[in-house]
Structures are given as structure tokens and as C-alpha cells.
Amino acid sequence: VNPIDRLTEAFEHFPGIGPRQARRFVQYLLTRPAGTRAELAKAIGELGASSAQCKSCYRWFVKTASQKGFCGVCASTSRERGTICVVEKDADIDGVERSGYRGLYFVLGGVVPLAAEEPEKYVRLRELVHRTEADAAKKELSEVILGLSATTEGDHTRALLQEKLAPLAAALKFKLSSLGRGLSTGSELEYADPDTIASALNSRA
Ligand SMILES: [Zn+2]
């Protein structure tokens, strides 16, 4: 495979990118100076060495010596440690942060397709259960907020999580809630503005 086709194929695997956009990316790179392409290749190469996945919330972050495997939010002492907002992906955290939320997070790693028989293959369900149990054991946990998109798969995933977490919430005495009205049907959390997310957080139930 020639480099143009190889790179096009690589871009096609990016979220939300189709074959036509992938080709446009490659064509754009071809028009850039060689130095720009080299810079990009270097940044991609360094990504693995400089980043790590948080041991607690599973988001990716730039490593620092002091945090010992935890992202800035999980390592912070000024957050409300009793609240966990469960989101689909890293990009959702940015929007929730801008809404003024001060609790912690858990990144599911996706949504569960409607026909899926084993949800664990698509999202970090086991890890989420483990996290709630661990936080509850430390007497830290007071609420888990399901911050999923108002899409069909988001709704389906929320229902699965509620089913799985409701018995835990009762046993470990934490509140289980979901984002309320504000997010219009079909909208993804990633693209919601901070005011909308703030209102959905305030009306959670
Ligand atoms: Zn974290």
C-alpha cells in the first residue's frame, strides 16, 4: 500500500471521519511544507510517551511526576470527591467542566449498541462498579450522576447502568441520578453548550 492510501485508511478510523474527509486530510497534508508534516509526525510519536490513562477515571492526560497515575481532576484536593459524573468519552469532560461542575468523573469509553448482548465489551461497566465500591468503602461516595447523551444509544446505556447500579446504590447508600431536562432529544453531550449542561445538572433526578 502506498503512503497516501495508508494514511487515508488511518484517518478513516478516526471518530466521525469518512473516506472523503480522510482523503481531504491527506491532500491537505501534501500541500503543507515538509517541516509541518514532520512536526505532526513527531507530536503523534510523542503522544504515547507523554500521556497516560488515569487509574481512577480512565481519561487520558499529560503525565506529570507528582500525580502518580491520576489525572489533574482525580489528583486534586479541591474537588467534591463524593460525586462522580459518568460520561461516554474524554471529550465530554470538557463541556461538563465548563458548566461549573466540581465533582469527579468516570469515562465509560463509549455507549452500548441496542442489540449488544454483552455490555461489558463496549463500556467499562465492571470498572465502574469497582470504582463505586472502592469510593464507597473509603466513605467518599454520595452520588453517581449518569451524564450520557440524549441519543438512542445514550438512553439505552443509561438504562443498563441504572439497572446495574441501582442495587449498589441501595446497598452502599449513594444517590443514583441522571442529567435532567435541558439536553434536547438527539443531542450529544460533547456538543452541548455549558449553560445547557449546567441546567441539565441542576435538574438531575
Ligand atoms: Zn482521573
CA of 133 to the centre of ligand 1 (A): 16
For ligand 1, the distance from its centroid to the CA atom of residue 74, given in whole angstroms, is: 4
Cell of 103: 465533582
Give the pLDDT of residue 127.
Answer: 97
Q: How far is the CA of 112 from the centre of ligand 1 (A)?
A: 22
> Does residue 1 register a pLDDT over 90?
no
Burial of 7 per CB tally in 10 Å (0-12, 13-18, 19+): middle
Ligand 1 centroid from CA 104, angstroms: 8
Looking at residue 115, the DSSP 8-state letter turns out to be T
pLDDT, tens only, 3-57 = 999 999 999 999 889 999 999 999 999 999 999 999 999 999 888 888 899 999 9
10 in helix, strand or coil? helix
Residues with CB in 5 Å of ion ligand 1: 54, 56-57, 71, 74
Ligand 1 centroid, distance to 27 Cα (angstroms): 37
First to last CA, the chain: 53
Distance 76 CA to ligand 1 centre (A): 9
What is the reported pTM?
Answer: 0.84
CA nearest to 157, candidates 103, 205, 109, 192: 109
Q: Do residues 122 and 116 lie in contact, with contact meaning Cβ atoms separated by under 8 Å?
A: yes
Rounded Cα–Cα distance for residues 40 and 139 (Å): 45
Residue 202 CA to ligand 1 centre (angstroms): 23
- Residue 73 CA to ligand 1 center (angstroms) comes to 6
Q: Which tens digit of pLDDT belongs to each residue from 60-112?
A: 998 877 678 999 999 999 999 999 999 999 999 999 999 999 999 999 999 99
Give the Cβ contact number of residue 128 at 10 Å.
22
Taking the C-alpha atoms of residue 131 and residue 63, their distance in angstroms, rounded to an integer, is 22
Q: Which residue has the cell 492510501?
A: 5
Please count the other Cβ atoms lying within 10 Å of the Cβ belonging to residue 25: 16
CA 150, CA 75: separation in Å to the nearest integer? 30
Residues ≥6 apart with Cβ < 8 Å to 142: 82, 83, 174, 175
CA 199, CA 181: separation in Å to the nearest integer?
8
Backbone angles phi, psi at 42, to 5 degrees: -65, -45
| Distance from Cα 69 to the centre of ligand 1, integer Å | 8
The Å distance, Cα 75 to ligand 1 centre, comes to: 7
CA distances from residue 24 to 29, 30, 78, 105, 120 in whole angstroms, order as listed: 9, 10, 44, 35, 36
**By three-state DSSP, how is residue 89 classified?**
coil
Measure 109 CA to ligand 1 centroid, in angstroms: 13
Give residue 24 CA to ligand 1 midpoint distance, Å: 35
